[in-house]
Structure 1
């Protein structure tokens, strides 16, 4: 690993792009255009006018051929060894059977030879097509689930593939790192309204109060924050928000929510060592989709949501999708709304099996109020009622408007090389005023507060371009990925303070009105960050061995200007990170693995002792794991044992001096089980996390468990249908979430652990009357028994947990 860091005055903030990044991106785009345009401009072959439409996703070649055989009636013959481990680009559109077979074999290294009996034999492309031995068995459709893609729907609650840990569509069994996949079906069944809700049944995750997560996707993974500063929150494999307070992501707009645990900078650049969360957007579909939901619930909750899509033309070359949601609701905290508007249109064009262009857009507005952090002693003593609004109705607000627009383009050339290009622009406008309630302990029944007024705008521009191709070196099969990505973030924050007219009397909370804001002292700043990365990854297969190796070079720069002092600063960093992993694949579905991976995270500022610019903090993880996912099953068992260290951590003393002397070490063990039966589904997770501060300028932190990280956490969700009991259409879900006590190092105090129970009762109304087919009704409860609890990120960062909430949903799909 190499690194270079420098710090210098910057004449201006936020206006100069990175020349290297722009030059590389333009060069890549020019080469892509030169290669793709002539190929795309060719006339459609006559076979494209055939009368049969196919929709076969990219994936394992044997599964794609089996599906083609079942749909077309072709008789195919091949040895299992010949097709094993090979990939197909998939098929979308109308084709004659022979042309469909030829398209599925593109880039696989195989060709089809027609026999005298009308069947087709698969041969290596280098061999001359001719008669093959008649003893080769025909390849017939088996009904397997390898047709899943890394961006498509999850089959029930059990995924088989993901791209978040590799940037390629890869089987989970071949991935040498812990990955959890939550599909849209699970998000809907558990009524997740935030990413934190969606990940509440996955191992290794700690989160704050749900009221806070309505505006912030704030998560701890394996003892490290993956959200603060956009250090681990991705959308469709690229960095998303530039400010953690931009409003979060709407789960209803997601096809998948994926969590990669542990260091993963080799493909994404600067990240938290805890890992990353990748939210996968819903995409256009050629299959007609019509869904409408009405929701009513606790605290005057009213919500309508819809998801629509389908093919535009008869050939399925054009397809669309529109996902939308509107919510008007109050909150369990008095005088706090929970309103949201969300709309996400998408359009896809696929002129042939080798080319696809998808446009993705979204617009989101959030209207709520910020949940101010509280002092530990005030929450632990219960002196502050958990439903009491501690702000001022005439002053407090949180209004967030975010817009995103991007594209994804893929093209596979005749030689099997695959080009992928993606880019997105994200903008956020946040108006955020609140009363700070953690400045002094409650005294004499009075709560003293300060006012904070914030006006913030942020943007993110990200692009990723890569080439992927397969080749063999002897018995070793390679899938090589090479690419360049670029991320530019701006964050312009204006912050003012003010005093409350009077203290809040908790016994008689009469509101004092709007506070007096000092508009002459802007405590905010204007910030710019840029990152350019070059990455290379090789996924290799040697018999039963699957090996992954990768390396990345990053160049990053940051600039800031303080509005209060006028001081300007800039910093440049570069770093090299890597990863290596190995998996052994047994025929029975067992897959043990071992991996080493790295991360880096820039630190802004200078060391108060040495005066040198901070170097990036670095993470390194060693992980050993075991998965079991038998073929033709809907079962996944996973276990992982890891050690994760982050060095060069910045800590501050009581005088706000900063020192880069810290180190955090996390060791743990995680279990995850997912099973989807005919009438029963089960999700189980357990995590033991020993995350300790090993070195720090603050003596009280040393050898203490990281705040808000429980040493043990356990969750279990079970869903049951009752068709065998004569109650077809009825389903019941029950969930249990246990979080052990957590630590507050600066106080030497403990936050009590808690156990929460969730429940779901649903019914398909079509079982009552055929005319109601597609109509469903469901009742969800979170924290069913209204358990009181709170979470703390520190002695002045505590928040109450969400009480019992109920939601009734009426849905209709046609």
Structure 2
């Protein structure tokens, strides 16, 4: 049976009154007879004896005198509360409890100005073991009465002021009983509540990417940034690379074919493809649509301890939307310049009366032109998810995603002398009728989860992703002839890239004396294949970049037999099989001192057929990680860590010896601060060294040797959250010194291409909270990126730029109308490069209007 604990709040000028009543009274902590002499000891002993109680729903019901905010749980009789006051705030902490959706994601409840005399009510996870309830009075600390009821979950019955100017009251005794508050003399007022099943606001307190467990970010000795759904909506994100501009230390490396595909650079090192729900999601040729994204988690630094073969910069993990236990329907429409049209809908809810079978369906369609001549994109996303709750401890989730992307293949602009060629950034340098490609992608998988007890859980999950790229492209990427002619070649391609990954994990909590442990044991099996078939490469007339002619005499068409693919010919085939076993222990020595240690052993086998040349290679590697977090006071976390990475290097030396894996090591220190309950910041300093890089053998330049080395060191700052009610912010600053330290081909001291030494970002929104303009919001984005080189030889420079974005929107009831402007002042800038002769310019002034409605 559901239990109820009810708090009634009113206004009092002199203090807080807490009483308990009902047939099934719940004792307050200062009445519990335990062998302890302080409240702190009582809380500690109670926490030791109890397991975490899950509150999986927050809902609001209006009442005659105000509103009831209900925290639903099946174990209300086990809840105990400690309370205190601070200025005008009544603060209640509920130990051994968590706000968690059925999907396992934490969430936050907030209500601004719900009744007269109460300015804010908030309920959130203070840490991984405590819920905090804060009620803020307009003029004084609210009065709170606690009592129990046998019907349902934990209830906060919030009442308004008895009068607009309350009369002074004598100081109440700690055990006195407060009569129910009466309706305001001004009459009942309309109440607007913000209740969401998603992370509310910009700040996210927990993440799973860094540890594969739901752990407060403040307890992890690493720099982790999370971009929640709210930021994607406020910025009206179309490409995830735009969302990642809000995070320090991340740069794009190429926009493959002029699309939003391409690799990323984290702390200077390449990430060839994102992760999706903790699984490798193909490679840099794969696009990601934002319609199915719940949040994006960024883990900086080597991550091989949990994810296997990787570069040492870090990973980007896209967490997709999961089914909701209550009905939810949303429709979004977008229209912009450059013939941009996009629509999407998001449906979710239960499929059965008992709620055991849940679904979610996201569908999006986009058709757009481009500021680049001739370019276009046509995209379709279909992403259904089904969760079957077999019992209260067992569930299985099946997900599928189909994403088809059809586009004009574009290789951007070349360099002239030491900078991008001075031609209009709109100019297309290829033959458009011979440059159309399509990349349909399929993603399918399941996740089985079972709780043996409150402390031990089992997870088994499978992910399969497949991307096929087909079509002809006519482009150039070689240096210009005579300083103006771009050589063009055309070819047809049919390439299929597939990932198969099976993960099995066991997590558990136990104590050894007074020391707490959260253990993770995992096994990962994976196979990655890449089959690429080409047609003949046809040499076409060069294009004059200053005066292009797109229809020269003799230009072939798509039916030219030379563009036909011979699938029986020798082409390219790659396959990598990997097995990884990993173990991790999150150790709580004391409440303010935590350790993280772990290690992973990997074995990989590589097979290839490169135009008839067969290759085979096997590697093993061990990747350790260790870190410590010390919290001298509650809102401050000081941390230090060591981590490592590996990635196989395919090939042989002149002596016939297979190459060893390239390795990376990182040392990092940092500080995390909870500036307020809604605003947090991270400051990190790091140094990464990557070794065993191949470079030409000085004795024979036809062979390579592994003596190359690269080093990246820097400082990063990120701050995210809510400064004041309605005023949200995400900002970052990056200093990165990423250079070549040893090499026989690249000059020592050269900087990594696409990596600026200095970069900064600021995105902030303010939404009016009350009055006739309530729901009106404004947004401002400022982005600075310093000078970057377009190649590792540092022969071409993309100069620094400062871009301004803005937004205005209006929300009312269940609908939202918005206008987002990117590059408000029409700044000319260059976004990224793949080489000195493949440079992609950024878009000029871009405006997108949007309308969304929820049911």
Question: Unaligned stretches of 5+ in structure 1?
Answer: 1-49, 55-68, 106-120, 124-140, 767-772
Shift of 1:374: 4.1
Runs of 4+ in 1 over 4 A off after TM superposition: 50-54, 83-87, 91-94, 102-105, 147-152, 208-213, 518-523, 652-656
**Are 1:787 and 2:827 counterparts?**
yes
Deviates more, 1:776-785 or 1:77-86: 77-86
- In the superposition, relative to structure 1, how do residues 152 and 274 fare at CA in structure 2: closer, same or farther (>3 Å)? farther
Inter-partner Cα distance in structure 2 for 1:103 and 1:452: 70
Q: Report Cα offsets for 1:161-207 as digits up to 9, x if no partner.
A: 00000000000000111101001110121122222112011000111
Shift of 1:459: 1.2
Decide which of 681, 685, 693 is 1:649's aligned counterpart. 693
Structure-1-length-normalised TM-score: 0.80
Q: Is the Cα–Cα contact under 8 Å of residues 307 and 324 in structure 1 kept in the other structure?
A: yes
Decide which of 522, 533, 542 is 2:589's aligned counterpart. 542
Shift of 1:375: 3.0
Shift of 1:267: 0.7
SS at match of 1:188: helix
Q: Is the Cα–Cα contact under 8 Å of residues 213 and 248 in structure 1 kept in the other structure?
A: no
Inter-partner Cα distance in structure 2 for 1:652 and 1:188: 48
SS at match of 2:576: strand
**Are 1:555 and 2:603 counterparts?**
yes
Residue 337 of structure 2 corresponds to 298
Residue 629 of structure 1 corresponds to 674
Inter-partner Cα distance in structure 2 for 1:656 and 1:806: 52
Q: Is the Cα–Cα contact under 8 Å of residues 190 and 780 in structure 1 kept in the other structure?
A: yes
Shift of 1:98: 13
Shift of 1:102: 9.3
Q: Is the Cα–Cα contact under 8 Å of residues 311 and 319 in structure 1 kept in the other structure?
A: yes
Q: Is the Cα–Cα contact under 8 Å of residues 781 and 806 in structure 1 kept in the other structure?
A: yes
Q: Report Cα offsets for 1:230-274 as digits up to 9, x if no partner.
A: 4xx211011121x321x3111221111011111110011011100
SS at match of 1:404: strand
Inter-partner Cα distance in structure 1 for 2:24 and 2:356: 23
Shift of 1:656: 6.2
Q: Report Cα offsets for 1:116-166 as digits up to 9, x if no partner.
A: xxxxx999xxxxxxxxxxxxxxxxx99441189999833211000000000
Decide which of 121, 145, 148 is 2:124's aligned counterpart. 145
Shift of 1:504: 2.2
**Are 1:811 and 2:774 counterparts?**
no
SS at match of 2:416: helix
Shift of 1:813: 0.9
Decide which of 360, 364, 374 is 1:325's aligned counterpart. 364
SS at match of 1:145: strand
- In the superposition, relative to structure 1, how do residues 804 and 268 fare at CA in structure 2: closer, same or farther (>3 Å)? same
- In the superposition, relative to structure 1, how do residues 210 and 192 fare at CA in structure 2: closer, same or farther (>3 Å)? farther
Inter-partner Cα distance in structure 1 for 2:489 and 2:381: 33
Shift of 1:99: 9.3
Decide which of 75, 96, 105 is 1:101's aligned counterpart. 75
Residue 36 of structure 1 corresponds to none
Decide which of 566, 569, 582 is 2:615's aligned counterpart. 569
Q: Is the Cα–Cα contact under 8 Å of residues 89 and 354 in structure 1 kept in the other structure?
A: no
SS at match of 1:701: coil
Q: Is the Cα–Cα contact under 8 Å of residues 258 and 411 in structure 2 kept in the other structure?
A: no
Shift of 1:501: 3.7
Q: Report Cα offsets for 1:464-522 as digits up to 9, x if no partner.
A: 10111111111110111101011111110112342344222442523244366476896
Inter-partner Cα distance in structure 2 for 1:406 and 1:104: 38
Q: Is the Cα–Cα contact under 8 Å of residues 323 and 360 in structure 2 kept in the other structure?
A: yes
**Are 1:694 and 2:741 counterparts?**
yes
**Are 1:718 and 2:759 counterparts?**
no
Inter-partner Cα distance in structure 1 for 2:367 and 2:333: 12
Decide which of 631, 639, 643 is 1:597's aligned counterpart. 643
Residue 264 of structure 2 corresponds to 219
Inter-partner Cα distance in structure 1 for 2:28 and 2:470: 64
- In the superposition, relative to structure 1, how do residues 103 and 53 fare at CA in structure 2: closer, same or farther (>3 Å)? closer
Deviates more, 1:460-469 or 1:368-377: 368-377
SS at match of 2:291: helix
Residue 818 of structure 2 corresponds to 778
SS at match of 1:787: coil
Inter-partner Cα distance in structure 2 for 1:353 and 1:102: 17
Q: How does 1:600-679 map to 2 (within 5 A)?
A: 600-607=646-653, 609-629=654-674, 633-652=677-696, 657-676=703-722, 677-679=724-726
Inter-partner Cα distance in structure 1 for 2:298 and 2:216: 15
Q: More strand by proportion, 1 or 2?
A: 2
**Are 1:532 and 2:579 counterparts?**
yes
Q: How does 1:151-550 map to 2 (within 5 A)?
A: 153-208=198-253, 214-227=259-272, 230=273, 233-241=274-282, 243-245=283-285, 247-372=286-411, 374-377=413-416, 380=419, 382-414=421-453, 416-443=455-482, 445-505=484-544, 506-512=546-552, 513-514=555-556, 517=562, 524-543=571-590, 544-550=592-598
Shift of 1:726: 4.3
SS at match of 2:44: helix
Q: Is the Cα–Cα contact under 8 Å of residues 255 and 262 in structure 2 kept in the other structure?
A: no
Inter-partner Cα distance in structure 1 for 2:774 and 2:222: 40
SS at match of 2:672: strand
Q: Is the Cα–Cα contact under 8 Å of residues 56 and 72 in structure 2 kept in the other structure?
A: no
Question: Unaligned stretches of 5+ in structure 2?
Answer: 6-19, 30-41, 59-70, 80-93, 97-119, 130-195
Residue 4 of structure 1 corresponds to none
Q: Is the Cα–Cα contact under 8 Å of residues 324 and 358 in structure 2 kept in the other structure?
A: yes
Residue 584 of structure 1 corresponds to 630
Shift of 1:328: 1.0
- In the superposition, relative to structure 1, how do residues 795 and 98 fare at CA in structure 2: closer, same or farther (>3 Å)? closer
SS at match of 1:196: helix
- In the superposition, relative to structure 1, how do residues 89 and 374 fare at CA in structure 2: closer, same or farther (>3 Å)? farther
Q: Is the Cα–Cα contact under 8 Å of residues 601 and 616 in structure 1 kept in the other structure?
A: yes
Q: Report Cα offsets for 1:530-569 as digits up to 9, x if no partner.
A: 111000000011211111100111011111102x3x1111
Aligned residues: 698
Inter-partner Cα distance in structure 1 for 2:848 and 2:704: 47
Q: Report Cα offsets for 1:449-470 as digits up to 9, x if no partner.
A: 1123221012111111011111
**Are 1:80 and 2:43 counterparts?**
yes
Q: Is the Cα–Cα contact under 8 Å of residues 349 and 357 in structure 1 kept in the other structure?
A: yes
Q: Report Cα offsets for 1:624-662 as digits up to 9, x if no partner.
A: 01001267x111111001111110012358966433221
Query: Greater CA radius of gyration, 1 or 2?
Result: 2
Inter-partner Cα distance in structure 2 for 1:104 and 1:754: 57
Q: Is the Cα–Cα contact under 8 Å of residues 53 and 75 in structure 2 kept in the other structure?
A: no
Shift of 1:84: 5.3
Inter-partner Cα distance in structure 1 for 2:541 and 2:761: 44
Structure-2-length-normalised TM-score: 0.76
- In the superposition, relative to structure 1, how do residues 391 and 101 fare at CA in structure 2: closer, same or farther (>3 Å)? same
Inter-partner Cα distance in structure 2 for 1:656 and 1:793: 25
Q: Report Cα offsets for 1:348-389 as digits up to 9, x if no partner.
A: 122433222111111000011222154321793534432122
Q: Is the Cα–Cα contact under 8 Å of residues 91 and 103 in structure 1 kept in the other structure?
A: no
- In the superposition, relative to structure 1, how do residues 83 and 669 fare at CA in structure 2: closer, same or farther (>3 Å)? farther
Between 1 and 2, higher relative CO (CA 8 Å, sep ≥ 6) is seen in 1
Inter-partner Cα distance in structure 1 for 2:236 and 2:827: 19
